[in-house]
A and B are shown apart, each in its own frame.
Chain A
Amino acid sequence: MKKEDSPDEGSQDILATWMKSTGDIWGNMLHAWSDMGSFLNTPQKSPNSEAESSKRATLDAAQKSFQLFSKLLLNPNVMESLIKGAGALPDIMVKFEQSSLNSFLQLQQKWLQRANSLGKSTEAFKFEDLDENAFRAWADVYEQEFQKFFNIPQLGLTRFHQEKVNRALDKYTIFQTTFGEFLRLLYLPISHSLTALQDRMGQMVEEEELPEDAKIYYQMWIKILEGHYMTLFQSPEYIQTLGKTLQSMSEFTMARNEVLEDMLSALPIPKQKDLDDLYHELYILKKRMKMLEKKAEE
């Protein structure tokens, strides 16, 4: 009884034939390219030149590798293992996709939690008085939810530089927030004084004492404005905001300077620290010299 070929064996024969013919075709092609290259280069260069022989050797090696690889594939055991592996590929892909999807979902969940906590952070202010509390609310949200991203530990050779850049960005955001709050406070007397002026004018209308000269309205407003500023400037809120603004400005400037100094260190330009060291040495030397001069005079 004639042994029936299994479907696997049949497919192996077809594959082996295809591999062999492909190997022959690519081998011939490589030879043809190599010969053509030699032909084209003949007038200018000797075929025995070092470059030419190196190129030929590379092509020969590539051809041999391809042929060996083809032969290896013709081995039924290798082919069987390859086909089995190909069968397992969809499983691996599914696992990989599953793992990625899970990670993404977890990340998304964390983000949702974070977004949820944004609401908690702002709950105290409720954004009802958006004008007055927006800066403080944003400062709170930033400090609780976003600032930590700038504090993620940096890795590798450039970690210190990355940390400095992150610090500068962090300090810049804080400075912008406090400065915004400071400007809002400075604007308050203007809006309040205009309201007060309107009230005063309403009262004057009632009393039929409305002045005819526009300058009087301006003088009234300036006086009210001055009073509002004086009240504001003595308030603990203003003093606290002023202190915070100056502090955040200094901290941002310091962080920015550190980044700039890093950049400057790659250039042939002295850094502020170099100058400061020099100034300090100069200061000490001058002081000593003056002291000695005074002693010599005495």
Chain B
Amino acid sequence: MTQPKIPVDLILSKLAEEAEKVQERAQKASDVLLEPLDTQIAATPYEVVYQDDRVKLKHYLPITATKLKTPLLVVYALINRETMLDLQPGRSVVETFLAHGIDLYMIDWGYPTGKDKFLGFDDHINGYMDTMVDFIRKKHNLEKINLMGICMGGTFCVIYSALHSEKVKNLITTVTPTNFDTDKGLLHVWMQGLDPDLLVDTYGNISGDVMNFGFLLLNPARLMLDKYVGFFEHMENKSFVENFVRMEKWIFDSPDLPGEVFRKFIKDCYQKNLLIQNKLEVGGRRVDLKKISMPLINFYGKYDHLVPPEACELLTQKVGTQDATDVRLDTGHIGIYVSSKCQKEFAPKIASWLMERDEPKRKQSKRRAPARKPAARKRARRK
């Protein structure tokens, strides 16, 4: 019987080589880490044009002539912060929108404190959002504005557009959960066994750090270990370190979630799945998705582990509009906004889609009337 060959000598020499590299890397890394680093996020200039309690309305200063008549209001989720859309120059959705001549507004939800624990869906959607939309409409003397929502902000935009369809010209939803009855995403599975009443009654607002810990637990091998091994392997690269720190800054900048929003989101959406069934009630009014009559484009990530495609793709079939498009990108939940590949196909696609729908009198006469059968709806799949 022959003994299997184990290249011990080669393994050891590789290890020695690697140890030398690590030493060299550590030396360079110390230089990088000790010198000034540019890790600023959300650097694109803006001004706060309206404020209601903790909630601010940001207006980005244009960098080129405005090409769209209708301004765009971006509504981020109440989890994490909107700075993700402007992480760094050259990789910024905000910058791309401005470069395409979009007049851009964004809601900054701020940091909820104890006094905000009673603020629910109604206060955020029919309260803050509606006030901001009215402010922009009044400022621009327009009946309708464009609305774009991100993740939970997208869910808010869907609800808002159903309740205030007269104020929304075009609706863009990105990684937006609307169908919660799926076992594809771990969040959807975990939320079924949660007791939101107990959590909200105990803690009031739900701690951002606790939620972040939950998100890390979705993939601890990658998010709590491999990610930092990757950092260690590239920390002699200044640009890599700067980008890494920017992302860390964004990820762990987690405002608490107002308790009543959490309660409704978990109970009515995750556990009862009321929104997609047109049974959700907000502010005493039923949310009927058929009332979403404006054009809709719905982006989602094929590899999104937080909001899987199954949670997003039903929306276009349930809304009232015939001009509804699904766009599935080969990326994850965050990759849509920050990956260099998606920088070319995400924000520019939105800009062109809005452009097509911005001058109704001129464009609509040229464009064919949209097909009325659901089967005729566009479903763009990017690979």
Name A's B-contacting residues (CB within 8 A).
186, 189, 205-208, 210, 212-215, 218, 222, 225-226, 229-230, 233-234, 239-240, 242-243, 246-247, 250-251, 253-254, 257, 275-276, 279-280, 282-283, 286-287, 290
Residues on A with beta carbons closer than 8 Å to the beta carbon of B189? 233-234, 239
Contact of A250 with B193 in the complex, beta carbons under 8 Å = no
Q: Identify whether the interface residues of B are mostly helix, strand, loop, or mixed.
A: helix
Give per-residue flags for B179-216: 1 if the beta carbon is below 8 A from chain A beta carbons, else 0.
00000001001101111001101111000000000000
C-alpha spacing A129/B78, complex, angstroms = 44
Nearest-neighbor residue (CB-CB) of B13 within chain A: A212
Contact of B229 with A247 in the complex, beta carbons under 8 Å = no
Contact of B229 with A226 in the complex, beta carbons under 8 Å = no
Q: A218-B229, A234-B186 are in contact. Are A226 and B193 (CB under 8 A)?
A: no
| Besides A222-B226, A243-B195, 15 new A-B residue pairs in contact (Cβ under 8 A), listed by A number | A205-B6, A212-B10, A212-B11, A218-B229, A222-B225, A229-B221, A234-B189, A242-B193, A243-B193, A246-B199, A250-B198, A253-B202, A254-B201, A275-B114, A287-B127
Residue B366 at the A interface, CB < 8 A?
Answer: no
Q: A214-B14, A253-B202, A253-B203 are in contact. Are A226 and B222 (CB under 8 A)?
A: yes
Selected contact of B194 from candidates A225, A246, A279, A290, CB within 8 Å = A246
Contact of A287 with B123 in the complex, beta carbons under 8 Å = yes
C-alpha spacing A250/B117, complex, angstroms = 17
Contact of B219 with A213 in the complex, beta carbons under 8 Å = no
Selected contact of B221 from candidates A208, A213, A222, A286, CB within 8 Å = A222
Distance in angstroms from A90 CB to nearest chain B CB is 61
Q: A226-B219, A243-B195, A246-B195 are in contact. Are A205 and B117 (CB under 8 A)?
A: no
Of the A-B pairs whose beta carbons lie under 8 Å apart in the complex, a sample of 6, sorted by A's number, is A233-B218, A246-B195, A246-B199, A247-B198, A250-B195, A250-B203
Nearest-neighbor residue (CB-CB) of B260 within chain A: A283
Contact of B7 with A210 in the complex, beta carbons under 8 Å = yes
Residue B115 at the A interface, CB < 8 A?
Answer: yes
Q: Identify whether the interface residues of A are mostly helix, strand, loop, or mixed.
A: helix
Selected contact of B114 from candidates A233, A242, A279, CB within 8 Å = A279
Contact of A213 with B14 in the complex, beta carbons under 8 Å = yes
Contact of A283 with B193 in the complex, beta carbons under 8 Å = no
Mark out the residues of chain B between 1 and 17 whose CB falls within 8 Å of any chain A CB in the assembled complex. Answer: 4-7, 10-11, 14-15
C-alpha spacing A225/B119, complex, angstroms = 41
Distance in angstroms from A155 CB to nearest chain B CB is 29
Nearest-neighbor residue (CB-CB) of B115 within chain A: A279
C-alpha spacing A251/B222, complex, angstroms = 32
Contact of A283 with B119 in the complex, beta carbons under 8 Å = yes
C-alpha spacing A189/B222, complex, angstroms = 13
Residue B374 at the A interface, CB < 8 A?
Answer: no
Interface size class, chain B: 35 or more
Contact of A212 with B14 in the complex, beta carbons under 8 Å = yes
Residues on A with beta carbons closer than 8 Å to the beta carbon of B15? 214
Nearest 10 Cβ contacts at the A-B interface: A243-B193, A250-B202, A226-B221, A225-B221, A212-B10, A283-B118, A279-B115, A212-B14, A250-B198, A254-B202
Residue B18 at the A interface, CB < 8 A?
Answer: yes
Residues on B with beta carbons closer than 8 Å to the beta carbon of A283? 115, 118-119
Residues on A with beta carbons closer than 8 Å to the beta carbon of B194? 243, 246
Residue B90 at the A interface, CB < 8 A?
Answer: no
Contact of B221 with A279 in the complex, beta carbons under 8 Å = no
Selected contact of A208 from candidates B4, B115, B127, B195, CB within 8 Å = B4
Selected contact of A279 from candidates B18, B117, B190, B222, CB within 8 Å = B117
Give per-residue flags for B289-315: 1 if the beta carbon is below 8 A from chain A beta carbons, else 0.
000000000000000000000000000
Contact of A279 with B193 in the complex, beta carbons under 8 Å = no
Distance in angstroms from A23 CB to nearest chain B CB is 72
C-alpha spacing A230/B220, complex, angstroms = 10
Selected contact of A280 from candidates B118, B222, B225, CB within 8 Å = B118
Contact of B6 with A210 in the complex, beta carbons under 8 Å = yes
Distance in angstroms from A296 CB to nearest chain B CB is 14
Among B6, B10, B193, B204: residue with most chain A CB under 10 A = B193
Residues on B with beta carbons closer than 8 Å to the beta carbon of A230? 219
C-alpha spacing A229/B226, complex, angstroms = 14
Nearest-neighbor residue (CB-CB) of A253 within chain B: B202
Distance in angstroms from B43 CB to nearest chain A CB is 34
Selected contact of B18 from candidates A208, A214, A242, A250, CB within 8 Å = A214
Residues on A with beta carbons closer than 8 Å to the beta carbon of B4? 205-208
Nearest-neighbor residue (CB-CB) of B229 within chain A: A218
Nearest-neighbor residue (CB-CB) of A293 within chain B: B131
Contact of A242 with B190 in the complex, beta carbons under 8 Å = yes
Distance in angstroms from A250 CB to nearest chain B CB is 4
Q: A210-B7, A225-B221 are in contact. Are A239 and B193 (CB under 8 A)?
A: yes
